[in-house]
Amino acid sequence: MDSIFNDKKENRSLTSIIFDKIREDILIGKYSRGEKIVEAKLAEELGVSRTPVREALKQLELDGLVENIPNRGVIVKGITKQDIQDIYTLRIAIEGIAVKWAIERMDDSDLEKLKDIFELMEFYTFKKDLDKIAELNTRFHETIYKATKSRYLEQILKDFQFFMKTTRYKSLRTEGRMESALEEHREILNAFINRDVGQAVKAILKHVNNSKKNAENF
């Protein structure tokens, strides 16, 4: 578990690091819905004591990703179809605000970062590298959120991005979705380059709605 202890050097608490790891594993499907997480086994796998694992599982229960059931233990709840529908509905309601604020408040470095990420998206779409595309997709949107200079909006939408990991991987495996998603991001980028708020809102809502349609199939 070298990566965990590398993170620890960055002054993050062990509980926080373990929380992030378990949450990631749940959202990418390593744990199935209804599966039991055994605290002692997980602590052994991670090479840590049971205390930070127990605290991390308590935080995950507050997030609704697991449930501690008497006489059964900690059971994975994961993300339900209703959760996904709710998140997309909320994204549709506020993504337009995000791109408007980002265009109004971004500096040249924000725009250059967005261009660089898109170029990498093009490269890895050609390579059909699902993991890299999913990672860059998240970075592209988080760059926009950061450019809003609104810590509240950024945190809300970053959380949504994180919880969308389950559907993002499945969606990108759909025939032709990698390529169509790339073109949707191209439209968003072009609107940013032109500082065209109206076109940016139109492009982002098109992208989110298309993502929602894909998610409805899972």
Q: pLDDT (tens digit, 9 = 90+) per residue, 93-126?
A: 999 999 999 999 999 999 999 999 999 999 999 9
Pick the range with the lowest mean pLDDT from 29-33, 66-70, 141-145, 149-153. Answer: 29-33
Q: pLDDT (tens digit, 9 = 90+) per residue, 146-191?
A: 999 999 999 999 888 888 877 787 788 888 899 999 999 999 999 9
Structural domain boundaries of the chain?
Answer: 2-76, 81-215
Q: Let me know how many helices (H) and strands (E) the chain has, helices first.
A: 11, 3
Of 3.40.228.10, 1.20.120.530, 3.20.20.140, 2.40.50.140, which CATH number belongs to 81-215?
1.20.120.530
Phi, then psi, of 138 in degrees rounded to 5? -60, -45
Residues contacting 104, CB < 8 A, separation 6+: 197
Mean pLDDT of the residues in the chain: 89
Q: Could you confirm whether domain 2-76 is CATH 1.10.10.10?
A: yes
Do strands 66-69 and 36-37 pair parallel, antiparallel, or not at all (unpaired)?
A: unpaired
Q: Which residue has the higher pLDDT, 80 or 22?
A: 22
Average pLDDT over residues 10-23: 85
- 73's torsion region: left (phi>0), alpha (psi -120 to 50) or beta? left
Q: Which residue has the higher pLDDT, 29 or 154?
A: 154
Q: pLDDT (tens digit, 9 = 90+) per residue, 47-70?
A: 999 999 999 999 999 988 999 999
d(CA 145, CA 204): 12
> How many other CB atoms are there within 10 angstroms of residue 191's CB atom?
20
